Amino acid sequence: MAKNLKKRSVFENKSQKTQNLQFRLYFNKKYQSKDLHKWFESKVRIKKNFKILDVGCGTGKQSVYFKKKINNSGQLFSFDKSIKSIIQLKKKIGSRNSKIFSADMNEIEKINKKFFESEKFDLISSVYSIYYAKRPLKIIKFLLSKLNKNGKLLLLVPIRPNKITQIAEKFYKVPSKVTESLVIFKKIINYFAKQKYNIRTKYFRSKIRVTNVEDVIKFYKSTTFFKKRYEKKVSEFIKKKFKTKSFIFKKDSCLIILKNEN
Ligand SMILES: C[S@@+](CC[C@H](N)C(=O)[O-])C[C@H]1O[C@@H](n2cnc3c(N)ncnc32)[C@H](O)[C@@H]1O
């Protein structure tokens, strides 16, 4: 009985994560001044015969776009830790010239052995997910070894904690992965620059102007740093801040492009 309950709560937790991701995508689309995903798409060049790997694909914001671009010519491999998101993505794009599976990127070598040992990729993409890795640099190095000549690894990462993070930080310690993303990625960028690797960075800023305070609170509840224990205090603070009928914060991202010239 207790075992069953435990199983159910793990499943609910996974399902909740997918719902949170869906809400964050909806929230950004509704309130952002510029569309981050459209911007990202404008920076990626995809040929029909490309072999593409999407790391931390979620419900497929990028994978669906990649699949449309390669149509039935290239090949797409996408994976995410969340089984629920993978089920949703499979429904969206099917299995024709694509392998969609659930896996933990911290085990990238094992994943490689199981799913794509004999493959090399023209494009490897990881949007808003590589910073969840325990050791991002180790994974990035491995992914670079999986690129074809002139293949590119694209990493889109948040680079500054937003206003909601700062509010939460007034009440408790937000994980350093969220608050120190810029520091972590500056180190990674410097590392590859020192190795004389072909590395480029592009920056994106959009303003989020929210007109409904309940959506700001829902957004806080959908973040990875949400803590039920502080929900009331953080929500009250947000409501107090929301005097001017809108809540504005900036969303800063950096696209890191690593090209394999060997
Ligand atoms: C912010 S979402 C981004 C998803 C998608 N790329 C997008 O832009 O919509 C981050 C994703 O990383 C996934 N993730 C987190 N840790 C992971 C891990 N260790 N291995 C694989 N995926 C992971 C989460 O499940 C989630 O789907």
Predicted confidence (pLDDT) per residue in 116-127, tens digit: 999 999 999 999
> Which residue minimizes the CA distance to atom 10 of ligand 1?
129
Please give the pLDDT value at position 76.
Answer: 98
Please give the pLDDT value at position 184.
Answer: 78
Low-confidence ranges of the chain (pLDDT < 50): 1-14
Give pTM, 2 decimals: 0.86
CA 177 to ligand 1 center in whole angstroms: 14
CA distances from 65 to 69, 92, 93 (A): 6, 11, 10
Please give the pLDDT value at position 92.
Answer: 95
Residue 93 makes CB contacts below 8 A (sequence gap 6+) with: 60, 63, 64, 67, 76, 100
Q: How far is the C-alpha of 185 from the C-alpha of 202, rounded, in Å?
A: 13
CB of 60 within 6 A of ligand 1: the answer is no
Give the residue, out of 24, 39, 81, with the most ligand 1 atoms within 8 A of its beta carbon, to mutate for a pocket test. Answer: 81
Please give the pLDDT value at position 181.
Answer: 74
CA distances from 109 to 8, 95, 139, 141, 160 (A): 30, 23, 9, 11, 30
Q: E-strand spans in 132-197? A: 147-158
User: Is CATH 3.40.50.150 the right assignment for the domain spanning 15-159+175-205+252-259?
Assistant: yes
CB of 128 within 6 A of ligand 1: the answer is yes
Please give the pLDDT value at position 176.
Answer: 81
CB 249 within 8 A of CB 163: yes
CB 171 within 8 A of CB 230: yes
CB of 162 within 6 A of ligand 1: the answer is no
CB of 41 within 6 A of ligand 1: the answer is no
> Which residue minimizes the CA distance to atom 9 of ligand 1?
61
Give the DSSP H/E element, type plus range, for residue 101: strand 98-102
Please give the pLDDT value at position 17.
Answer: 80
CA 82 to ligand 1 center in whole angstroms: 8
Q: How far is the C-alpha of 19 from the C-alpha of 134, rounded, in Å?
A: 24
Residue with tokens 């350093």: 176
CB of 157 within 6 A of ligand 1: the answer is no
Q: How far is the C-alpha of 118 from the C-alpha of 112, rounded, in Å?
A: 9
Please give the pLDDT value at position 74.
Answer: 96
